[in-house]
Structure 1
Amino acid sequence: MSFSNLLMKRSIGGGLRVTQFTVLLMFNASTRNGHTLRGKPPGVARTLEQRLRDENVSDPELKARINIGFPQLKASRSAQLKARLDHLRAQRVSKELEQLARSNNLLIDLDKVQDSYVQTTGQHDLRLLADHYGIFEHLFCSAYFVPRVPLSIHYELDANTISPVHNGNVIKPAEAAKVPMISFDGQMDPITGKTSQGDSYWTLLATNPDAHYTNHAAECLHWFIANIPNGKISDGEVLADYLPPFPPRGLGYQRMVFVLYKQWSRLDMTEYKLDAKDYSNLEKRTFRTLDFYRHHQDNLTPAGLAFYQTNWDESLTQFYHHVLQIKEPVFEYYFPSPYLADQKFFPLKQPFNLYMDKHRDAKQVNKEYLQRKLAKTHPFHGAQAPLRFPNAHPLRDVPSWLKTELRKRQLGTGRVQDY
Structure 2
Amino acid sequence: MAFTNLLVKNNLYNINGISNPLLICVRLGHVMRGKRPGIARSLEQRLQEENVKDPEMCARVNIGFPQLKSSRSEQLKQRLAHLKAQRSNEHIEKLARSNKLVIDLDKVQRDYRLTTGQFDLRVIADHYGIFDDLFGLAYFVPRTELNIQYQFDDDTFSIVYNGNVIKPAEAANAPEVSFNGTIDPITGKKSIEDCYWTLIATNPDAHFTDSSAEYVHWFISNIPNGDVKQGEVLIDYLPPFPPKGLGFQRFVFVLYKQNRKLDFSKYKLAASEQNNLEKRTFKTLDFYRAQQDHITPAGLAFFQTDWDESITKFYHNVLNMKEPIFEYDFPKPYVADQKFFPLKQAFNLYLDRYRDIKQINKEFLERKLAKTHPFEGPEKPLRFPNAHPIKNVPSWLRTEMRKSRLGRGRINDYK
If the TM-score is normalised by the length of the shorter chain, which range does it land in?
0.7 to 0.9
Of 143, 162, 167, the residue aligned with 1:148 is: 143
- Scaled by the length of structure 1, what TM-score is found? 0.73
Greater CA deviation, 297-306 or 123-132? 123-132
Match of 1:192 in 2: 187
Shift of 1:412: 8.5
2:280 pairs with 1:285: yes
Of 323, 327, 332, the residue aligned with 2:318 is: 323
Greater CA deviation, 184-193 or 94-103? 94-103
Shift of 1:367: 5.3
Which residue identity is paired with 2:184?
Answer: D
Shift of 1:229: 0.3
Which residue identity is paired with 1:229?
Answer: P
* Cα distance in 1, alignment partners of residues 75 and 403 from structure 2: 65
Q: Report % sequence identity.
A: 63
Shift of 1:177: 0.4
Change beyond 3 A, Cα 1:275–1:383: farther
2:202 pairs with 1:217: no
String of CA shifts for 1:321-360, please: whole Å, max 9, x gaps. 1001111111111112100123565565x88886665445
Contact kept, 8 Å, 1:370 with 1:416, in 2: the verdict is: no
5 Å-filtered alignment, 1:31-110, equals 57-92=52-87, 94-110=89-105
String of CA shifts for 1:354-411, please: whole Å, max 9, x gaps. 6665445423554577789999999999999x9xxxxxx999x999xx9999899979
2:412 pairs with 1:416: yes
Which residue identity is paired with 1:220?
Answer: Y
Contact kept, 8 Å, 1:165 with 1:306, in 2: the verdict is: yes
Shift of 1:110: 2.6
Contact kept, 8 Å, 1:73 with 1:191, in 2: the verdict is: yes
* Cα distance in 2, alignment partners of residues 172 and 266 from structure 1: 35
String of CA shifts for 1:284-335, please: whole Å, max 9, x gaps. 1111212211111111111111111111111010000100111111111111
Change beyond 3 A, Cα 1:271–1:382: farther
- Scaled by the length of structure 2, what TM-score is found? 0.74
The number of aligned residues is 364
Which residue identity is paired with 2:120?
Answer: D
* Cα distance in 1, alignment partners of residues 55 and 325 from structure 2: 43
Of 81, 106, 118, the residue aligned with 1:111 is: 106
Change beyond 3 A, Cα 1:414–1:152: farther
Contact kept, 8 Å, 1:240 with 1:273, in 2: the verdict is: yes
* Cα distance in 2, alignment partners of residues 362 and 55 from structure 1: 44
Shift of 1:109: 2.9
Which residue identity is paired with 2:273?
Answer: D
Which residue identity is paired with 1:199?
Answer: D
* Cα distance in 1, alignment partners of residues 120 and 61 from structure 2: 18
Q: Give the 3-state SS of the residue equivalent to 2:318 in structure 1.
A: helix
Alignment RMSD = 4.1
Match of 1:40 in 2: none
Contact kept, 8 Å, 1:369 with 1:416, in 2: the verdict is: no
Contact kept, 8 Å, 2:404 with 2:411, in 1: the verdict is: no
Match of 1:304 in 2: 299
Match of 2:201 in 1: 206
Change beyond 3 A, Cα 1:201–1:331: same
Which residue identity is paired with 1:66?
Answer: V
Greater CA deviation, 239-248 or 84-93? 84-93
User: Greater share of helix residues, 1 or 2?
Assistant: 1
Q: Give the 3-state SS of the residue equivalent to 1:312 in structure 2.
A: coil
Q: Give the 3-state SS of the residue equivalent to 1:307 in structure 2.
A: strand
5 Å-filtered alignment, 1:238-317, equals 238-317=233-312
* Cα distance in 2, alignment partners of residues 274 and 380 from structure 1: 64
String of CA shifts for 1:183-222, please: whole Å, max 9, x gaps. 1110111112222222100000111112222222221111
* Cα distance in 2, alignment partners of residues 408 and 91 from structure 1: 75
Contact kept, 8 Å, 1:186 with 1:200, in 2: the verdict is: yes
Greater CA deviation, 289-298 or 407-416? 407-416
* Cα distance in 1, alignment partners of residues 96 and 401 from structure 2: 59
Which residue identity is paired with 1:416?
Answer: N
Change beyond 3 A, Cα 1:327–1:346: same
Which residue identity is paired with 2:261?
Answer: R
Change beyond 3 A, Cα 1:135–1:376: farther
String of CA shifts for 1:138-182, please: whole Å, max 9, x gaps. 221221111110111111111221111112221111111010111
Which residue identity is paired with 1:181?
Answer: E
Q: Give the 3-state SS of the residue equivalent to 2:313 in structure 1.
A: helix
